[in-house]
Amino acid sequence: MSVSPEPADRLPPLNAVRAFVAAARHQSFTRAAIELHVTHSAISRQVKSLETHLGVSLFERRIRQVLLTPAGQAFFAEAANALAQIASAAAALRQSTTPRSVRINVRPSFAVRWLIPRLPDFVAQHPGIEPRVETSTAQPANAVDSFDIAIRRGLQGWPPSIQVQPFMSDEAVLVGAPALLAEHPVTTPRALTAHVLMSARTRNGDWDDWQRKAGVARLKPAGRLMFDHHHLVLQAAVDGLGLVVAPVSLVRHDLASGRLVAVLPEIRVPLDGNYYGLAPGAGAEALVFAEWLVRLGGLG
């Protein structure tokens, strides 16, 4: 059996009832105002509007105190319980509503240089899903924290329980800041001897791979710089500290904006592709994220 809703004009204003209950509990408009973080006059107006709505006096107003009238006592007994029930229902609903989220395990450089700049697109398309980016240099098979989806380059280090899927191919190219290259142009690989060559400990073989691809013996550069993570190397490149061999996926935005330019762009080193894997039991949110990832990966 359904219950018809009470007509709106027969319901007292909730803010006025809340002000009345606080004032009745304290027997003071001043203390009620402090509890509700409003002014004394606001409490007085709310109570007056409630009395007008009900057509009865709820308080006997004295100089430093207000006392409930018999009508006020009767209304307080019911209204206080009603507000308590509303508060209880709201608390129960908050506790039963689990936020939808997806935990994404990625390497720090991929998070900084590829994923995070693109996350606003995912949030705009799926406002009900909260992406939680958790960075780690460990392979997914050795992950300390649980995840819903992991992203890594190549097929090494995945646990047998995860079936990985490719989503983006990649290659490496030599890049540097425009001002640096304007000062010391590079038209042949030999010209790199005038530059500082930079790399990350996590990708310390990139220069050897690039030189083999370029068909040159080991070069003696003006200097070398080593950083812990690739995103630190790339920031150093943007700041003009030297040149770096970088995955195109991680510098695409910098190349498009002109913060970096490709040096000898015809020399490109093939890299392992980027893969994602869904953890066993991952929810629908992870599937949604994976679909978004595949679509974006195809765009580069």
Q: What angle, 0 to 180 degrees and rounded to 10, lies between the N-to-C axes of helices 70-96 and 14-26?
A: 120
User: What is the CATH number assigned to the segment(s) 109-300?
Assistant: 3.40.190.290
The partner residues of 101 in beta bridges, in order of sequence, read: 130
Report how far apart, in Å, the C-alpha atoms of 42 and of each of 19, 39, 50 are: 9, 5, 12
What are the tens digits of pLDDT across the range 221-247? 999 999 999 999 999 999 999 999 999
Alpha-carbon span 240 to 88, nearest angstrom: 60
Rounded to 10 degrees, what is the CA torsion of 152, 157, 162, 168?
Answer: 30
- Report CA Rg, the chain: 33
Q: Which residues contact 147 (CB under 8 A, 6 or more apart)?
A: 103, 104, 105, 134, 140, 279
The pTM score is 0.65
What kind and span of H or E run contains 101? strand 101-106
Each residue of 17-32: pLDDT tens digit? 999 999 999 999 988 9
Query: How far from 227 is each of 13, 224, 233, 244, CA to CA, in Å?
Result: 63, 10, 6, 11
Number of H helices and E strands in the chain, helices first, is 11, 11
| CA distances for 98 relative to 1, 136, 165, 204, angstroms | 30, 26, 29, 43
What φ, ψ does residue 150 adopt, rounded to 5°? -120, 150
CA dist 5 and 106 (Å) reads 51
pLDDT in tens, 134-181: 999 999 999 888 999 999 999 999 999 998 999 999 999 999 999 999
Residue 263 and residue 186 in contact, taking contact as beta carbons nearer than 8 Å = yes
Residue-range domain boundaries for the chain = 8-96, 109-300
Whether domain 8-96 has CATH 1.10.10.10: the reply is yes
pLDDT, one tens digit per residue, over 251-265 is 999 999 999 999 999
- Per-residue confidence (pLDDT) for residue 288, from 0 to 100: 95
What distance, in Å, lies between the first and last C-alpha atoms of the chain?
57
